[in-house]
Amino acid sequence: MKSKLRQYWSLIKSLQTGLLLLTGLSGYMSARCPVYNLPLVLGVAGSLFFAIGGSTILNMWYDRDIDAKMKRTCRRPLPAGDIKPREGFIFGLILSILGVGWAVAIDGLYGAVVFAGLFFNVIVYTICLKRRTAWSIVWGGLSGGMPVMAGRVLGVGHFDWVGIVLTLAVVFWIPTHILTFNLRHYDDYRNAGIPTLPFAYGFQATRKIIAVSSVIAAFAMAISAVAIGTYIGFLRVIGVLSAGLFMLAIGSLLKPSERIYFGLFKYSSLYMLSSMLLMAAQGI
């Protein structure tokens, strides 16, 4: 029983889901103090967890055939046969419906943004574009930016320019995160027949895209932090983190290596995690 639960839990990709969940909470807490809105904060956390986790499982269900061709992913529960495709699909669909339904019950506009994130991720990115074009990453990035937008919309009650800039920070952070992974596992993606920017345009062009995306992401994060009145001490930390992201991106251009790619991949996650935690702390 425990083994089966662990297999289902692994479908959710808890680290990825947790990071996107944090962006949603940070978006909300950038507008409202969580101490005085604890039930709503819990509702945001629960609805986003189900919606993000559900969409992740649906993606893994749909991609189980290409996952089976990649060394990095062939041991996942669905391609390995530990969980039957029908079981995985039903589990993902239930979580997705619960997440979106809960979000709509909290607030109509918030629910619409949560649904948009799930739609862009599963339908547009995974089903329609991932196997056809390397630029599917744009839609993948847009879906990744929806949790923080949803949180901000719920916090202020409408779309505002701060929420848009926060979303852009996540959208442009995602290429830094994903493309370094594409570079590191280039052969895996090629063997599975998945079009990626390194395969379509070469390593050097991909490194330039990573560098530009890193600069835009850092700039957007800084603008957002200033706009919500982040404490000067937190701003300095975000500034240092942004400088580190930029330096690693430039390093990947000047002295490309497996070590640099892996370091940039790990640091980009740390950067987003730390920045969002600081912005969430600002709201307390």
Domain count of the fold of the chain: 1
CB atoms within 10 A of CB 114: 34
pLDDT, tens digit, for every residue of 29-58?
988 877 678 889 999 999 999 999 999 999
Find the range with the poorest average confidence among 74-78, 94-98, 118-122.
74-78
98 or 137, greater pLDDT: 98
Which percentage of the chain shows pLDDT scores above 70?
98
pLDDT, tens digit, for every residue of 102-144?
999 999 999 999 999 999 999 999 999 999 999 998 888 899 9
Identity (one letter) of the amino acid at 210? I
Query: By residue range, what is the domain housing residue 230?
Result: 2-282
pLDDT over 90 at 63, yes or no: yes
pLDDT over 70 at 26, yes or no: yes
CB 60 within 8 A of CB 11: yes
Instruction: Compute φ and ψ for 9, nearest 5 degrees.
Output: -65, -40
| Rounded Cα gap, residues 47 and 13, in angstroms | 16
The confidence score (pLDDT) of residue 49 equals 97
The confidence score (pLDDT) of residue 166 equals 92
Run of H or E including 109: helix 108-119
Residue 27 belongs to domain with CATH number: 1.10.600
| Rounded Cα gap, residues 241 and 274, in angstroms | 8
**Average pLDDT value for residue range 155-181:** 89
| Rounded Cα gap, residues 280 and 284, in angstroms | 7
pTM of the predicted model as reported, rounded to 2 decimal places: 0.91
Band (pLDDT 50/70/90 cuts) for residue 2 is low
Q: Which of the residue ranges 24-33, 98-107, 248-257 has the most confident prediction, judged by mean pLDDT?
A: 98-107
The confidence score (pLDDT) of residue 284 equals 67
CB 206 within 8 A of CB 183: yes
The confidence score (pLDDT) of residue 116 equals 96
